[in-house]
Amino acid sequence: MQTEDMKKILLMLVALLVMNEGVNAQMTVRVVRDSLFIPWELVYGPDNHIWFTQKNGYICRLEPTSGRVDTLYNETNTRIQSEGGMLGLALHPQFTTQPYVYVAYNYLDASVYKERIVRYTYNSTSNVLQSPLTLLDNINAANIHNGCRLLIVDNHLYITTGDAATTPNSQNTNSLNGKVLRIALDGSIPSDNPISGNALWSWGHRNAQGMVYANGKLYESEHGATSDDEINIIEKGRNYGWPTVQGYCNTPSETTFCADSNVKEPIEAWTPTLAVCGMDYYDHPMFPQLQKSLIMATLKDTTLYQLKLNGTNDDVSAINKISLVKYRRLRDLCISPEGRIYVSTSNSPSSGTSSKIDKIIEIYDPSYNSIPQYENVTAIIFPNPAKDVITLRLKSGLDKISYRILNIYGQVLMSGMFNNTGNTIDVKALPVGQYNILLQDEGKMNMNKVFLKQ
């Protein structure tokens, strides 16, 4: 057996048998919202809300401090069939000026099960989605293996599709299934895709369930069959092997196929399978032990994992369980700019929508206070979240500092001046929610800090 194969097997065994207790240091877990139906995709939006899909066709928006959920749209065309339903979601990168929401869902067309990608427009005045526009359609669907994560990178929409229970689809470049697809944000096919006029970006995938872009790389998590769940780095025009190759190229037939078919091996694989699912990248000082890591949810293994990346971000150097998260099947996660981790569960029976037992939970360190450096200003704000009063302590030597407190819509609710000693601001009159506090030093903007009011 090759040395690299031995390394991977040893790393996998250590990951499955050993839990690093340090990962859980200073972590607090709370339920933000319950009574949900399989929140399939979570996206932390620029409005400081979590945008999410529910598998039964609802697109929603969650205020994470209060737990208030707004239903933005009910896509009545959505059809649940076992693993199928409403799936991935992405927000336009310039959402404040181009308020587009991209969603994937399964539907019936004359008794044929299919999948489509639709763009909706958000009306912030009425707080609803409207004007659905189909960008990509007639993707084969099935009771199993539909994908379908969405992610926008460099103004292109990446879409994962499963093989729809027909394994030859994955190696057929004329099929949209078993692929990572790439289209422009208006639905057109980019001219620099691997095959002219084809949405294909990579192929040989079984059923991708997670996708995140970080470190200039596109990371993907993918279900194996009875073996070899995978973490891949997706590259243009590469083959990822399914169904001929499962996991690494480590059998004689796989080695031959990999050499002949430009197959890229995963950076990590698991046997037995965990049912790997949604992922995000963590690099925030709230949890230093999680920095430079992929955070991954799992379904069958019911565990949240840290996948520590190596120095070049192209391999997994350590795997740890985040064992405080004990909510059975975990579907997806997102990370706020404040470093808080939000995770959705996937425990409602998919055969019907009457039982809604899923949750969105938050992982945070209640003792964490950032000390941001913005040119010549250093500040600490505590407590955060706050109930009645916040205290803002500035670096000594500063004076004539003005502050403004704004809501998420940019409206100024409070303003004032303070000096370089401890300053308290009474915020008990503010409604529960998230606010920005802007500091100015003699007319020059120096810092924008976020705090939560409970």
Dist. CA 153–CA 236, nearest whole Å = 13
Dist. CA 168–CA 178, nearest whole Å = 9
Cis amide prior to 243 (ω within 30 degrees): yes
Token pair 């499955």: residue: 16
**142 within 8 A of 164, measured Cβ to Cβ:** yes
**129 within 8 A of 120, measured Cβ to Cβ:** yes
Dist. CA 139–CA 145, nearest whole Å = 12
Q: What is the DSSP letter of 190?
A: P
Which residues belong to the active site? Answer: 145
Dist. CA 138–CA 177, nearest whole Å = 10
Q: How many CB atoms lie within 10 A of CB 351?
A: 10
116 token code pair:
């489509």
* Dihedral of alpha carbons 176, 182, 187, 190, sign: negative
Token pair 């427009």: residue: 121
